[in-house]
Structure 1
């Protein structure tokens, strides 16, 4: 369930990212610790630049977990599987179409590109995991796999602690 981002959540996301977030308008998913871990961004940045990444994984621990999967070669393995498994490829294409429909509801871009390489490539597990978390299980099969293999990134509590004087 997407919720408008509050000023306090914007501060949490800024601490997670190490910079102010851009074009964020909603919290798309919350980590079990309660903090945002995926935000929904506008299809265009504040200056009008197209930004095709609708769902942005913000938790540094979740990002590290996705990076470990990429380093272990999971993208390449799943890319190879897309070429040989028509059912997986069809489900991944459907995830791409669902992603585009959600993005287009906020603003249509001149490109049909989506994040993560959809519908034909597995390019970025961070983006695919963000989509899977935001959309819920069963929408993005590659994102679901990534989330399942990322482990419990939240297990040590909130990643972004409040600044204390």
Structure 2
């Protein structure tokens, strides 16, 4: 078993599927695997299929599920971080190159599961910073150093897990 807070690719158990549903407040769609666990031990990122159950294309490979992590990413978005990091892509060649490499890695991994009709990606990669939730999810799932903008988001999101598990297991589980 992988230690909490580390990259994982584990099939989602029925109990985890229910836990993710409680995190999201709705049934999760097209979940393939737990892609990352927060230090509290619960899934905080899931890997999804490139196609929803009804056949609709779904370009978001990694989905941030923990409501506390989601709230932390939303707070960053509200402070203008996306605009700052978008501007940095135009002035920092190393950041832009790393972000483009993250985009290519993301597409390769998603395409290995099934190619979509377009090359759409999540988070605005490679030219825009559009969704810190998607970028943080990718950074957590891929590990440090793969997505530099996602890494920045994760670093600034703080310790969303510090208050303990965000979704308690229901009795009998």
Q: TM-score, normalised by structure 1?
A: 0.98
CA distance, structure 2, for counterparts of residue 111 and residue 84 of structure 1: 29
Shift of 1:10: 0.2
Shift of 1:85: 1.1
CA distance, structure 2, for counterparts of residue 51 and residue 122 of structure 1: 19
User: Where do 5+ consecutive residues of structure 2 fail to align?
Assistant: 1-7
Give the structure with the larger helix fraction. 1
Pairs within 5 Å for 1:99-114 = 99-114=106-121
Shift of 1:162: 2.1
Structure 1 residue ranges (4+ consecutive) displaced by more than 6 angstroms after TM superposition = none
Deviations 1:63-114 (A, max 9, x none): 0000000000000000000011111111100000000011011000111111
Shift of 1:116: 0.2
Corresponding residue for residue 33 of structure 1: 40
Superposition CA RMSD, Å: 0.9
**Does residue 97 of the first structure (1) align with residue 142 of the second (2)?**
no
Where 2:127 maps in the other structure, the secondary structure is: coil
CA distance, structure 2, for counterparts of residue 135 and residue 58 of structure 1: 16
Where 1:40 maps in the other structure, the secondary structure is: strand
Q: How many residues align?
A: 165
Residue number among 127, 139, 151 corresponding to 1:144 in the alignment: 151
Pairs within 5 Å for 1:60-71 = 60-71=67-78
User: Where do 5+ consecutive residues of structure 1 fail to align?
Assistant: none
